[in-house]
Amino acid sequence: MQHRLSRQHVVDMCRTMLARGYLKATEGNVSVRVPGHRLYAVTPSNYDYDRMRVEDICIVDFDGKHLPDDSGADLKPSIECGMHANIYRERPDVNAIVHTHQPYASALAFLRKPIPALTDEQVRFLGREVAIIDYAPSGTSFLARNVQKKVASGDNAFIIANHGVVAVGTDPDRAVFNMALLEKVSIAYLLALTSEAGKVYTIPTAIREIAFGKLRADEKRIAAQITEAVEPLRVPADEEPPSADAAAAQVTAADADRPHHTDADQQPGPRPPGSGTRSASTPTSTT
């Protein structure tokens, strides 16, 4: 079995969050970057966390392609592979990702209400704010693109509108910590909104920027270590989400352009010019 340690990290994260009540049944997904490769280990689709074994964890590349091996599990990776791939490509400092539907942060997802800088601890680990990621259907390239746009901010926790949350970290323990901190902050913010709506105070801007500066310094240090081993692949801002219809049309066009030999082609004479080499465009995310 390849990349066993990365797979074990995923299983350990799942067991920790399952024991703490952050994961239920098959909802959400978890991944860990494979060191030194453009790969990550991710939970399988629609598979109970309570039954999950190391060999059940899938290996996927940064283009969202599943790379099955001889583990024997033969399970399909999470439908949110595109989201995970885009985060790893955009943020070389991120080595682990958690996506959950935890209740209190999800309540803010239904309100589409971002969490401002309430404490210096929150900013130090989660970022300037917990932003709302625009809604898109689950498992689509549109959701993957929306997430990619937000994570570029350097923040480490996000609320997906009408869906759930994404928390990232420099290592598996930090990703789980950030997810738990997000839930704690969400509870406090919801209580404050309920008690004194419109009167929730934030920390001073200067303190916020100092705490965020420390977070960004950590991220840049980790990113530098990662990029020395593997150069990051970033998603172009103007690139369109991949389309199955477009891919099919490309294949049809290639077939139409392929020369069809006839008896006349076998006669002596000058050969027709070559059609050239066509380069395939690789999509940045898959669903």
Residue 100: strand pairing partners: 165
Among 4, 20, 115, CA closest to 70: 4
Task: Cite the DSSP H helix spans in the chain.
Answer: 4-19, 81-90, 103-111, 120-126, 141-151, 172-195, 205-229, 244-257
Residue 157: strand pairing partners: 167
Query: How far apart are alpha carbons 134 and 148 in whole angstroms?
Result: 11
Structure tokens at 89: 């490509």
* Residue type for position 36: G
Residues 27, 55, 80, 196: which is the catalytic one?
80
Do residues 12 and 172 make contact, with C-beta atoms less than 8 angstroms apart? yes
Task: Cite the DSSP H helix spans in 196-269.
Answer: 205-229, 244-257
- Is residue 196 part of the annotated active site? The answer reads no
| Residues recognised as catalytic | 80
